[in-house]
Amino acid sequence: MTAFNTLPLKPALLTSVETLGYSEMTPIQAQSLPAMLEGRDVIAQAQTGSGKTAAFGLSLLQSLGVETIRLQALVLCPTRELADQVSKAIRKLAANIPNVKLLTLCGGMPLGPQLASLTHDPHIVVGTPGRVQEHLKRGSLHGGGIKVLVLDEADRMLDMGFSEAIDDIVGRIAKHHQTLLFSATYPDEIREVSRRLQRNPVEITVEAPTDTKPAIEQQFIDVDPNRKLDALAQLLTGERGQHALVFCNMRRDVDAVAEELDRRGFSALALHGDMEQRDRDEVLVQFANRSCSVLIATDVAARGLDITALPLVISYDVAHDPDTHTHRIGRTGRAGQTGLAITLCTPREQPKAENIEQVLGRPLAWHPLKISPPRGKTLNLAPMKTLVIDAGRQDKLRPGDILGALTGDAGLKADDVGKIDVFATRAYVAITRSLANRALERLRAGKIKGRNLRVRSLH
């Protein structure tokens, strides 16, 4: 049986599962949840989009004692973007359990507001290893009551050099706790971490079904280095290019490719670790709400990107190693959708492609591409445009308040309003591009929740 109600979950959690529309468990949920609910340590191999967040989220909420005001569950993630995504998912699962306090603690954010939030212990913390370690060292975070430790995307955390920080964190929290380790791959380093941190873990591997057509079609294209940008632009002019993720190996190439695509008329934005955190947040918001058609990113920056229907991923550069290549193509073909993953390969990058082929154990699918002569600037604009409202959760602003103002005084139809994201001090709303200027003028002239708030367009 794979129905959630076959598990010994709290009624409040079953209600949340039903509200979120989860009817049947995914393979990773069906295999891992029984062991996790029994309090067993688990090491699980599962790809992004497999439902692992809901699995460990339900497990840690099941063991949570809300009446005990102390930190009871800690989730470590490699990046802030993934930590934000995991926090949102757990909050949704906890919607029917009153008074659950969850904090997200990540680097790249001011320490002051985090310290203020920690004057009272949270029940759950989701964060990146460096910042969590810093709070434990300062004594602003107390780990003595932790019952569950989750290492999410553990392989990527090790790739990013967080091994020592994780060991230090484990040394500063309750000695007896459940450890749940999730990883897309099982290199030797992950097995070593499991041996150090876990007690008789249940090992779970969820393989993609082999008897069905793969959700992701992979194509490799042999390209001259001097025509790489022309090839990319040509690939992005198709229907799938209306929402595409492009990977570069180097940060400087991310900026160069984004600038060139913008010059050619694409709604393209760059994402990498040298950017300010607010700029990174705004880029992610625009890509998720369809105000940006093409996102050019480094591998680390794209971790935790929560875009379900992403039809096209392009590797502008061949990934340095097969694991990274697997992570890249796993961004498309999620949640039952089909996807296309294209890799542009120059002659110098051929050895990397051969390494990927060796690990895959089957020949790569090489496709010819006849590159047309470069055309002048042609507009390939995203369907939406983003407006920024300088108020957020701290001002008690909710998505419904924004939607009400747009469909009321601003005179828009609900269908013309896209995704609404409300952060602590800012809110972002996607508007059909042709109506964005009208909506901006009306919002500036009118009020939102009875107040005159500063509204601007995000470019």
What is the per-residue DSSP string for 332-357? SS-TT--EEEEEEE-GGGHHHHHHHH
115 located within any domain: yes
Q: What percent of the chain has pLDDT over 90?
A: 58
Same domain, 301 and 394: no
Report the domain count for the chain.
Answer: 3
Last residue of a domain, one of 150, 170, 205: 205
Last residue of a domain, one of 146, 173, 205: 205
376 located within any domain: no
pLDDT at 161: 76
Q: Which of 71-75, 276-280, 335-339 has the lowest mean pLDDT?
A: 335-339
Same domain, 133 and 249: no
Q: In this predicted model, what pLDDT tens digit does every residue of 41-94 receive, in sequence order?
A: 999 987 767 789 999 999 999 999 999 999 999 999 988 878 888 999 999 999
What the block records as the tokens of 359 is 């690990």
Closest CA to 95 of 12, 3, 10: 12
pLDDT of 213 > 50? The answer is no
Same domain, 118 and 25: yes
> Which residue in the block uniquely carries the two structure tokens 């295999």?
31
pLDDT of 438 > 50? The answer is yes
21 located within any domain: yes
448 located within any domain: yes
**SS3 of residue 115 by DSSP:** helix
**Angle subtended at Cα 392 by Cα 131 and Cα 150, rounded to the nearest 5 degrees:** 30
pLDDT of 337 > 80? The answer is no
Mean pLDDT of 99-110: 89
pLDDT at 249: 94
Q: Distance between CA 429 and CA 414 in Å, rounded?
A: 12
> Which residue in the block uniquely carries the two structure tokens 């082929």?
357
Confidence class for position 269, pLDDT limits 50, 70, 90: very high
pLDDT at 1: 54
Q: Distance between CA 146 and CA 153 in Å, rounded?
A: 20
pLDDT at 210: 44
Mean pLDDT of 417-441: 91
Question: Is residue 312 within 8 Å of residue 240, measured between CB atoms?
Answer: yes
Distances (CA, A) of 384 to 180, 291, 435: 40, 4, 9
pLDDT at 212: 44
pLDDT at 15: 94
pLDDT at 406: 87
377 located within any domain: no
pLDDT at 208: 54
Q: Distance between CA 408 and CA 422 in Å, rounded?
A: 19
One DSSP character per residue, 5-50 reads GGS---HHHHHHHHHTT--B--HHHHHHHHHHHTT--EEEE--TTS
> Which residue in the block uniquely carries the two structure tokens 């971490």?
193
Same domain, 196 and 255: no
Same domain, 149 and 258: no
**Angle (deg, nearest 10), helices 11-19 and 52-62:** 150
Higher-confidence residue: 92 or 1? 92
pLDDT at 310: 81
pLDDT at 309: 67
Last residue of a domain, one of 179, 205, 231: 205
This model's pTM is above 0.75: no
CB neighbours (10 Å) of residue 254?
26
Question: Is residue 189 within 8 Å of residue 151, measured between CB atoms?
Answer: no
pLDDT of 209 > 60? The answer is no
Same domain, 201 and 221: no
pLDDT at 422: 87
Averaged pLDDT of the chain: 89
Mean pLDDT of 386-399: 90
pLDDT of 415 > 90? The answer is no
pLDDT of 425 > 80? The answer is yes
Cα maximum dimension of the chain: 67
130 located within any domain: yes
One DSSP character per residue, 383-446 reads SEEEEEES--GGGT--HHHHHHHHHTTT---GGGEEEEEE-SS-EEEEEEGGGHHHHHHHHHHS
pLDDT at 335: 57
Domain enclosing residue 109, as ranges = 4-205
Mean pLDDT of 94-122: 91
Same domain, 53 and 187: yes
pLDDT at 186: 79
Same domain, 398 and 444: yes
pLDDT at 211: 41
SS3 readout for 137-161? HHCCCCCCCCCEEEECCHHHHHHCC
Same domain, 182 and 223: no
Confidence class for position 168, pLDDT limits 50, 70, 90: very high
Same domain, 35 and 178: yes
Higher-confidence residue: 305 or 449? 449
Higher-confidence residue: 108 or 168? 168
Same domain, 64 and 184: yes
60: domain CATH number is 3.40.50.300
Mean pLDDT of 355-370: 89
391: domain CATH number is 3.30.70.330
- Ramachandran class of 440: left when φ > 0, alpha when ψ lies in -120 to 50, beta otherwise: alpha
Distances (CA, A) of 361 to 219, 295, 358, 367: 16, 30, 5, 19
Same domain, 190 and 267: no
32 located within any domain: yes
280 located within any domain: yes
pLDDT of 308 > 80? The answer is no
